[in-house]
Amino acid sequence: MPNPSPFRLLALDLDGTLLVGEDLPNANRDALRKARDAGYRVVIATARWKEAALGIAERIGVKDPVIACSGAQVHDPASGSDIFDERLPENFIRELYSICNEERCIATLTVSEQVWVKLEGDPNPALMNPEMRPVQRLELNGGDLPRIAAVQGRRAIARIRAELEDRFRPKVNVFDSVGPTGKIILTLTAKNATKGAALRAACAHLGIDPEAAVAFGDAENDLPLFAAAGAAVAMGQAAAEVKAAASFVSKPHDAGGVAHAVNLLLASGKLP
């Protein structure tokens, strides 16, 4: 069935939007497969790393570019290469690593093709994906800079806010995002690395006007994605500022919010 809508692309956040915990609900998967068959491109847009985004895309059955690391990376699986890649500045990373090494916290950083996980004690191997590398301390090895840092831990987050946020505001984005467990995670990327910039890069690669994209999200780091797209869908449990920026507020993510909005779009070619 051809796509009768002015929209041609769906860009979807994962945690708190498409996924419920680590689960991809069948209703969301099936709605996106219908959208794919109707001619929509389906782009995952997540704070998670590339491999996680590609895994969800594979379960849906799409091979479009994925936006990873909260917009710091756009990867094209067709060519196996990145079409957008932004790294955090070195002087910021040196100070961030110092704070994370001094405080009890969980820090996750994507560095090249690995995901470093700094945590206290020994990791549970069952919870580690193949690309994950547990470390006791964070160090700049050969100057390889991460695309994104995600930090959990009250004291570490408080110090990052107090000691780094204002000084590095011109160079670094500091967002609250929601992790798979529902906990707030402090997400850090380079200033040019936003889901909005990444969506524009993905659209340019596909030859699609960003105005023909519909963004789906629930958290602060989805606001640039909303701003770059032609329309935006907020999940029903999203914060007030996210709902205010949306074209349509759907059901909560754990009540089929994505499937509800996608099915409405497929039925009429537009959002209510």
**Shortest CA distance to 40 belongs to which of 208, 172, 163, 167?**
208
**Shortest CA distance to 189 belongs to which of 82, 71, 101?**
71
Residue-level pLDDT at 142: 73
pLDDT tens digits along 125-156: 667 778 888 998 999 877 789 999 999 999 99
Q: Which CATH superfamily is domain 9-85+193-268 in?
A: HAD superfamily/HAD-like (3.40.50.1000)
The structural domains of the chain, with segments of one domain joined by +, span 9-85+193-268, 90-190
Residue-level pLDDT at 97: 97
Residue-level pLDDT at 113: 86
Class of domain 90-190: alpha beta
pLDDT tens digits along 232-246: 999 999 999 999 999
Mean of all residue pLDDT scores within the chain: 93
Residue-level pLDDT at 175: 85
- Identify the bridge partners of residue 233 per DSSP, sorted by sequence position: 216, 248
pLDDT tens digits along 5-64: 899 999 999 999 999 999 999 999 999 999 999 999 999 999 999 999 999 999 999 999
Greater confidence (70 vs 141) lies with: 70
Residue 270 neighbours by CB distance under 10 Å: 15
On the question of pLDDT at 229 being above 90, the answer is: yes
On the question of pLDDT at 3 being above 70, the answer is: no
pLDDT tens digits along 175-205: 887 666 667 789 999 999 999 999 999 999 9
pLDDT tens digits along 203-223: 999 999 999 999 999 998 899
Once rounded to an integer, what is the mean pLDDT over residues 257-265? 98
